[in-house]
């Protein structure tokens, strides 16, 4: 009976992991002056291991990125690719499939191995495909990023790393992204 329960638990966790997946991102780059700049970012984004496809709108400097199914997603790797091409991220929205869950301001959630901290959201239940905006520094203009600091007193907002404030006294677990709906 215990083996049966263990197998059921493993299957449920596998299903949950495959269900909780970051699917795509929409990134606006800044600092572009020509189509060669746009092409440099496009090529850099295509080299990110989790990226499946990149579509670019040269007029708006927006890159629509789809991720490989079940790939380990690093939002920072996407930002770093843009920076390594010589540019910066002006904004980033991430679309993911969420299980049914309750969120509120300062709520934390791990999605496919990516830690999220919700800011400036009303208590609500979300489920399915939702788009969140990353509000960490270097993902928004400085003035806009500072606006979100009023929605939390947690030190993780400044550091981008899970602190004791986010883990209910457990060991901090790496990078955390601050997002809003």
Instruction: Quote the pLDDT of residue 2.
Output: 42
99 in any annotated domain: yes
CATH code where residue 162 lies: 3.30.70.100
Q: Is residue 14 part of a domain?
A: no
Quick check: is 27 in a domain? Answer: yes
The helix/strand/coil state of 115 is: strand
* Residue 149, in any domain of the structure: yes
Tokens 């295509």, located at residue: 46
In a domain, 102, yes or no: yes
Under-50 pLDDT residues of the chain: 1-19
Task: Say if residues 142 and 83 touch (Cβ distance below 8 Å).
Answer: no
- Give the pLDDT confidence score for residue 171 in this predicted structure: 53
Task: Examine residue 9 and state whether it is found in any structural domain, yes or no.
Answer: no
Looking at the 3D structure of the chain, how many domains does it have?
1
Give the domain range for residue 59.
Answer: 19-180
Instruction: Report the alpha-carbon distance of residue 145 to residue 125 in Å, rounded.
Output: 25
Dihedral of CA 151/153/157/158: which sign? positive
pLDDT of residue 113: 84
Q: What is the pLDDT of residue 173?
A: 67
In a domain? residue 3: no
Residue 86 lies in a domain: yes
């Amino acid at each position: 009976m215990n083996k049966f329960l263990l197998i059921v638990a493993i299957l449920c966790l596998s299903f949950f992991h495959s269900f909780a997946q970051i699917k795509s991102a929409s990134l606006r780059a800044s600092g572009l002056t020509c189509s060669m700049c746009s092409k440099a970012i496009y090529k850099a984004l295509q080299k990110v291991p989790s990226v499946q496809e990149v579509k670019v709108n040269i007029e708006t400097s927006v890159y629509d990125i789809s991720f490989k199914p079940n790939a380990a997603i690093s939002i920072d790797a996407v930002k770093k690719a843009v920076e390594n091409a010589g540019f910066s991220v002006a904004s980033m929205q991430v679309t993911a499939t969420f299980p049914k869950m309750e969120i509120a301001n300062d709520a934390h959630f791990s999605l496919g191995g990516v830690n999220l901290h919700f800011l400036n959201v009303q208590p609500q239940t979300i489920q399915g495909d939702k788009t969140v905006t990353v509000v960490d520094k270097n993902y928004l203009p400085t003035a806009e990023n500072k606006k979100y600091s009023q929605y939390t007193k947690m030190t993780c907002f400044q550091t981008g790393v899970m602190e004791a404030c986010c883990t209910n006294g457990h060991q901090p677990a790496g990078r955390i992204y601050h997002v809003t709906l």
